[in-house]
């Protein structure tokens, strides 16, 4: 392992900060999502509706507790902390000309605190939250105007924090929205609410195109502003395995993988791949894509490949094979008998991490950064203690495979940040009880609790992992 390997943790603004309406912050998409659970999806409401419960409004009160939390991260030895900037703290509506100074000051203070504690901020510019006004007034990323709004926001924060933040990412898990049957992803990735009967896939491809242009513009701007800055993309790297050796399954897995690879192909190589252009042609799709857009995309390619990894997906083309019917994993997903799952049905597959790292290394030969990996579990709080052995087992197995990919296979990896290093609000379900942290937060699903922080057993374990640079698992 390289000496300066970036061990750390990751959170996102809307899942931890709370303070959803203080010091000028505007409403964001995350503020209009209620809580669900493993069986019931979160509801996306038309604005904040009285009487409904919105778990992100309060988060875990990181906005007020961040100094204490960062102190605890530094006790674990974090070299970096990944979080995001809430766009609506900086531009409350998204389409103003001038930013909100109070919002900017908050992130100055937050980043200073991280740096004082010896950790680099790793910052996502758009992590599943868009000023809600942009959704209502412009239809979110359906609209080309979003490129300008996003660009303006990014210019402001890149300029302001250029000497504090080296590693940036544009859009978190930009590929999630390819699961078009799931309303959640279109809304969180792009602020899109589907209309009845619309061709969802066409809508999403258009939105994704605008995001590609925006991402490239921002990347080019960052490079011209400060050559030290490293810009990355971010995808949810869920590889697809064929269910059997039947060539139909093999071809299906390849086709499903392309829904993931197209995002890195464009953001790393700078142009649309042939397989995608061909698909659009076959579907008779046309889009608002200008030649200037294509030039921008060619120039604004990223410096590193950021990805999150939680699970693999196994797919079957055989109609007689029972599908999971889980809209988080797509229409062809089937059970993989070689893997167990979390209580939320996510396949636990440490070797899949080694597999995706090698897939990316072979295809792109640029540095990669594992910006999320973690284990969601309903931890038991017993007499002030949380014995989360299963989380340690999960992380240990994944880190071991990551090390093999680096040391035995030669993958070039900058760092590894564990998702939800302090218990956050779950993104997919809005629950508190789906916990990820090394630090337990005393908050219940309904928002009650003292919000006090407690160290779990995994806290001390990760401390040793970092101290030994991954030797001591
Ligand atoms: C990733 C997201 O999809 O997975 C995070 O980038 C999210 O925002 C994480 O929280 C885990 O998902 P969940 O639904 O278990 O919180």
> Of the candidates 45, 41, 137, 34, which has an alpha carbon nearest to the alpha carbon of residue 95?
137
Q: How much is the pLDDT for 325?
A: 82
Q: Which of 45, 27, 46 is nearest to 36 (CA)?
A: 45
Q: Taking a C-beta distance cutoff of 8 angstroms, is the pair 314, 333 a contact? A: yes
- HEC per residue, 219-243: HHHHHHHCCCCEEEEEEECCCEEEC
Q: What spacing in Å lies between the alpha carbon of 427 and ligand 1's midpoint?
A: 5
pLDDT value, residue 329 = 75
Asked if the model's pLDDT at residue 245 lies above 70, the reply is yes
Residues in the chain: 473
Which parts of 278-426 are beta strand (E)? 304-308, 313-315, 333-334, 368-372, 413-419
Given a cut of 80, whether residue 328 has pLDDT beyond it is no
Residue 14 C-alpha to ligand 1 middle, in angstroms? 11
Mean pLDDT for the chain? Answer: 97
CA torsion 300-194-126-422 (nearest 10°) is: -140
Q: Rounded mean pLDDT of 311-335? A: 89
Query: In this model, does residue 330 exceed pLDDT 90?
Result: no
Average pLDDT over residues 192-205: 97
CA of 419 from ligand 1 middle (Å) equals 8
Ligand 1 mean position, distance from CA 98 (Å): 31
Among 348, 351, 350, 322, residue whose Cα is nearest residue 335? 322
Residue 331 has pLDDT above 90, yes or no: no
Q: Categorize the per-residue pLDDT at 397 as very low, low, confident or very high, splitting at 50, 70 and 90.
A: very high
Q: For the segment 23-49, what is each residue's pLDDT rounded down to a tens digit? A: 999 999 999 999 999 889 999 999 999
pLDDT band at 190, cuts 50/70/90?
very high
Give the model's confidence band at 57: pLDDT under 50 very low, under 70 low, under 90 confident, else very high: very high
Active site residue: 58, 372, 401, 431, which one? Answer: 372
Q: Which domains does the chain have, with CATH numbers?
A: 6-467 (3.20.20.80)
Residue 164 has pLDDT above 70, yes or no: yes
Q: Is 96 among the residues known to form the active site?
A: no
Using CA positions, which residue lies closest to atom 8 of ligand 1?
427
Most ligand 1 atoms within 8 A of CB, residue of 372, 434, 435 to mutate: 372
The stretch 221-250 carries a mean pLDDT of 98
Q: Is 171 helix (H, G, I), strand (E, B) or coil?
A: strand
Query: Residues with beta carbon inside 6 Å of ligand 1?
Result: 12, 15, 128, 172-173, 236, 308, 372, 376, 419, 426-429, 434
48 secondary structure, DSSP code: P
The total of other beta-carbon atoms located within 10 Å of residue 286's CB is: 10
Structure-block tokens of residue 235: 């995808």
Condensed to tens digits (0 to 9), the pLDDT of residues 352-393 reads 999 999 999 999 999 999 999 999 999 999 998 999 999 999
- Closest protein CA for atom 7 of ligand 1: 427
Q: What angle do CA 380, 386, 392 make, to 5 degrees?
A: 105
Among protein residues, the one whose CA lies closest to atom 14 of ligand 1: 428
What are φ and ψ of residue 265, in 5° steps?
Answer: -55, -45
What was the pLDDT predicted at 327? 66
170-186 residue pLDDT tens: 999 999 999 999 999 99
């Amino acid at each position: 392992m390289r000496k300066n390997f970036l061990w750390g943790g990751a959170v996102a603004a809307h899942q931890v900060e709370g303070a959803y309406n203080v010091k000028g912050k505007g409403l964001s998409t995350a503020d209009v999502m209620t809580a669900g659970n493993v069986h019931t999806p979160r509801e996306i409401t038309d604005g904040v509706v009285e009487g409904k419960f919105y778990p992100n409004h309060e988060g875990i009160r990181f906005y007020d507790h961040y100094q204490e939390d960062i102190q605890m991260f530094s006790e674990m030895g974090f070299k970096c902390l990944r979080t995001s900037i809430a766009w609506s703290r900086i531009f409350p509506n998204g389409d103003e000309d001038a930013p909100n100074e109070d919002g900017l000051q908050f992130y100055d203070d937050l980043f200073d605190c991280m740096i004082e504690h010896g950790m680099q901020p790793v910052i996502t510019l758009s992590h599943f939250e868009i000023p809600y006004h942009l959704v209502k007034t412009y239809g979110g990323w359906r609209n080309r105007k979003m490129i300008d709004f996003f660009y303006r926001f990014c210019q402001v924060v890149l300029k302001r924090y250029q000497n504090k933040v080296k590693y940036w990412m544009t859009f978190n898990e930009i590929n999630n929205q390819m699961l078009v049957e799931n309303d959640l992803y279109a809304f969180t990735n792009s602020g899109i609410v589907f209309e009845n009967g619309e061709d969802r896939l066409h809508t999403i491809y258009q939105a994704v195109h605008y995001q590609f242009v925006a991402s490239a513009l921002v990347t080019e701007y960052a490079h011209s502003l400060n050559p030290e800055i490293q810009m990355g993309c971010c995808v949810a790297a869920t590889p697809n395995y064929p269910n059997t050796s039947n060539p139909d399954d093999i071809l299906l897995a390849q086709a499903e993988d392309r829904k993931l690879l197209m995002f890195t192909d464009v953001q790393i190589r700078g142009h649309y791949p042939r397989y995608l252009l061909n698909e659009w042609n076959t579907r008779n799709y046309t889009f608002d894509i200008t030649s200037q857009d294509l030039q921008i995309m060619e120039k604004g390619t990223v410096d590193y490949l950021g990805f999150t990894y939680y699970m693999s997906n196994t797919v079957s083309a055989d109609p007689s094979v029972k599908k999971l019917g889980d809209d988080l994993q797509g229409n062809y997903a089937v059970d993989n008998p070689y893997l167990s799952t979390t209580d939320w049905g996510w396949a636990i597959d440490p070797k899949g991490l080694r597999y995706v790292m090698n897939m990316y290394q072979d295809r792109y030969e640029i540095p990669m950064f594992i910006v999320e990996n973690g284990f969601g579990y309903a931890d038991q709080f017993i007499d002030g203690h949380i014995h989360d052995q299963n989380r340690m087992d999960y992380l240990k197995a994944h880190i071991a495979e990551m090390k093999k990919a680096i040391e035995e296979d030669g993958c070039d990896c900058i760092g590894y940040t564990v998702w939800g290093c302090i218990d956050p609000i779950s993104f997919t379900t809005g629950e508190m009880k789906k916990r990820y942290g090394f630090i337990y937060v005393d908050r219940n699903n309904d928002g009650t609790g003292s919000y006090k922080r407690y160290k779990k057993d995994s806290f001390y374990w990760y401390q040793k992992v970092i101290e030994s640079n991954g030797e001591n698992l």
